[in-house]
Structure 1
Amino acid sequence: MSAVPDGLLEVGHIRRAHGVRGEMSVELSTERLERVTPGARWFTRGEWMEVTSARPHQDRWLVTLAGVSDRTGAQRLTNAAIYAEPIDDPDELWVHRLIGARVVDTAGRDVGRCTAVVSNPAADLLELDDGRLVPVVFVTSLDASTAGDVVTIDPPEGLLDL
């Protein structure tokens, strides 16, 4: 398996060939449609590939990549992970920026480091280094500083009490 270049994010998986003209069924792990617009670049199986077309199909996408023109070529990519460069959108909270960030409350008190973001039906949860969980809805900002990213939270009273 080829090494994935530093800084890329996993954005989905190619699941299987669809039809005979190189189209593939793709399962995205993101809601960002920029990942499937024509011209989007994916890193998979050790090389960069470009999306030439995509359309929604059931709960997945049917995607054609430049250089993949038949079923055999599409089958070679079955179950391949898809990586892409991070999207620069300051209005979004990105998991790769939250993990490892220092977490402070609105008074500036340090409450720990975010070690994981746990998927939860009501709201994703920041897992702190001491095991406490903070719903992402209480994040008020994510600021980059010279010492790394800092997440500010405004939790209700008692949420951080063990």
Structure 2
Amino acid sequence: MPEPDDGLVPIGRVGRPHGLDGAFFVERASEDEQRWVVGATVIVDGEPAVITLSRRAGGGRRAIRLDRAVERGAELAVPRSDLPEPGPDSYYAFELVGLTVVDESGRELGRVVTVHSGLANDNLELDAGTLVPLIEDAIREIDVEAGRVVVAAGFLGG
């Protein structure tokens, strides 16, 4: 499976302004608190920017200020090499996007277009809109290198 463009991993998007000090809400913010510490560097429009202020705001959402102006909607990213290696049987969501999903007989069910975080479990969304829960009863194998996810036979009613 291909890595994100330029080896960068999205960690959020510049959202609407928050306050009068140049801060903005981060849309789809990474849950990794280390990404948002003051002094951390993020990549915006291909150029580094340093976080100069970080706080929780309305509803616990992340708000930050950078050392330079950025456009609303711009992607915030970090180099893939800055991420710790996931543990055994653990994956980053971006690693699963694009994988082919098949049942145990090899019948193709679709491709992963996004991963939805949930309270009880995460779900893979396939290109046809089907949701596959990331639970042991449903997922038999994830092979990022081979680019596929194997789903338990009959789990999706096929």
TM-score by length of 2: 0.64
> 2: CA distance between counterparts of 1:132 and 1:5?
26
How far the C-alpha of 1:134 sits from its partner, in A, is 2.5
1:115 aligns with 2:116: no
- Matched with 1:159 is 155
**Superposition map of 1:81-96 within 5 A:** 81-86=75-80, 87-91=83-87, 92-96=90-94
Cα distance in 1 for residues equivalent to 2:154 and 2:84:
34
Q: 2:18 touches 2:63 (CA, 8 Å); kept in 1?
A: no
Return 5+ residue gaps in structure 1 as ranges: none
Seq. identity, %: 28
Task: Measure, in 2, the Cα distance between the counterparts of 1:141 and 1:56.
Answer: 37
Q: Is the 8 A contact 1:16 1:26 kept in 2?
A: no
Are the structure 2 counterparts of residues 160 and 44 from structure 1 closer, same or farther at C-alpha, using a change threshold of 3 Å?
Answer: same
Q: Any idea what SS the aligned residue of 1:35 has?
A: helix
Which is higher, the Rg of structure 1 or of structure 2? 1
Equivalent in the alignment of 2:23: 23
Aligned ranges 1:45-124 → 2 under 5 Å: 45-59=45-59, 60-65=61-66, 67-68=67-68, 73=69, 76-86=70-80, 87-91=83-87, 92-103=90-101, 109-112=105-108, 114-117=111-114, 119=116, 123-124=121-122
Gaps of 5+ in 2: none
Paired with 2:96 and 2:34, the residues of 1 have a C-alpha distance of 21
CA apart distance, 1:51: 1.7
> Once superposed, what is the RMSD of the aligned Cα atoms?
3.4
Change (3 A) 1:126 1:9: same
Q: 2: CA distance between counterparts of 1:133 and 1:5? A: 26
**Contact 1:103/1:114 (8 A) holds in 2:** yes
Q: How big is the shift at 1:56?
A: 1.0
